[in-house]
């Protein structure tokens, strides 16, 4: 492990994953690593209970960004003392708005994405366990508004407190505070690698997030319905 991403979800972490892999820090762990293999959820459940086996979780990964890894940035700093820490940031108000239509929305939103996620959990124990884990992590973090919802600025202020905490925790020579708007330069200087000729990737807006949840939920529900039909068919 060479790079530990401490930045919160919805701070362009998928862009960071692709950027780090372009720079040679590959593969890079990200929430999509868990979403593509829900059998990994029990490992993160153990980590949340204080029994994280980091070498087993990360294996050959050279970097990690986004949750669940960023949730444990302190533990990972201790486990990998030579790794550098990347804190991705964005304006607090924009972050709160993004969370309202993505992660908070999946848990509590009055929207199709939340409805389908709930239905998905009813027919897929893996998804149900993933959502339960994520809810517990967010509740433990104190960063996520409850069922009354975001919009009053409390989540933005919580994010700013979190960022200040990371800056106070990580030694300055080990930390880069970065946004994609800063471009390749600061990131490459920090990691001591050449600047690529390709532009910095930019991916994963809120609409894409919702579409991914909706399409995956519908696919899971359709698989379940197909299996039910086969079971009910005359023998």
Percent of the chain's residues with pLDDT above 70: 98
Contact 188, 177 (CB under 8 A): no
How far is 200 from 19, CA to CA, in rounded Å?
7
Going by the DSSP 8-state scheme, the letter that residue 58 receives in this structure is H
How does pLDDT run across 100-158, given as a tens digit for each residue? Answer: 999 999 999 999 999 999 999 999 999 999 999 999 999 999 998 766 678 889 999 99
Task: Inform me whether the pLDDT recorded for 204 exceeds 80.
Answer: no
What the chain holds in terms of domains, given with CATH numbers, is: 3-232 (3.40.50.300)
Task: Inform me whether the pLDDT recorded for 230 exceeds 90.
Answer: no
Contact 18, 203 (CB under 8 A): yes
- Angstrom CA distances, 129 to 44, 117, 133, 145, stand at 11, 12, 6, 21
């Amino acid at each position: 492990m060479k790079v530990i991403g401490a930045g919160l979800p919805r701070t362009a972490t998928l862009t960071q994953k692709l950027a780090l892999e372009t720079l040679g820090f590959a593969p890079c762990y990200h929430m999509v690593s868990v979403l593509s293999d829900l059998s990994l959820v029990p490992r993160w459940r153990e980590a949340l209970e204080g029994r994280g086996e980091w070498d087993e979780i990360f294996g050959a990964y050279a970097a990690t960004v986004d949750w669940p890894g960023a949730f444990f940035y302190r533990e990972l700093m201790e486990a990998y003392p030579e790794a550098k820490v990347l804190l991705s940031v964005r304006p607090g108000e924009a972050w709160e708005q993004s969370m309202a239509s993505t992660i908070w929305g999946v848990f509590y939103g009055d929207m199709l994405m939340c409805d389908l996620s709930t239905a998905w959990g009813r027919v897929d124990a893996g998804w149900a366990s993933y959502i339960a884990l994520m809810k517990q992590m967010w509740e433990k973090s104190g960063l996520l508004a409850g069922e009354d919802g975001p919009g009053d600025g409390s989540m933005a202020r919580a994010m700013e407190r979190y960022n200040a905490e990371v800056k106070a925790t990580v030694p300055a020579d080990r930390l880069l505070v970065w946004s994609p708007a800063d471009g390749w330069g600061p990131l490459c200087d920090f990691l001591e690698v050449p600047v690529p000729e390709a532009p910095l990737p930019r991916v994963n807006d809120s609409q894409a997030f919702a579409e991914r949840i909706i399409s995956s939920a519908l696919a899971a529900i359709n698989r379940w319905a197909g299996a039910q039909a086969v079971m009910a068919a005359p023998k």
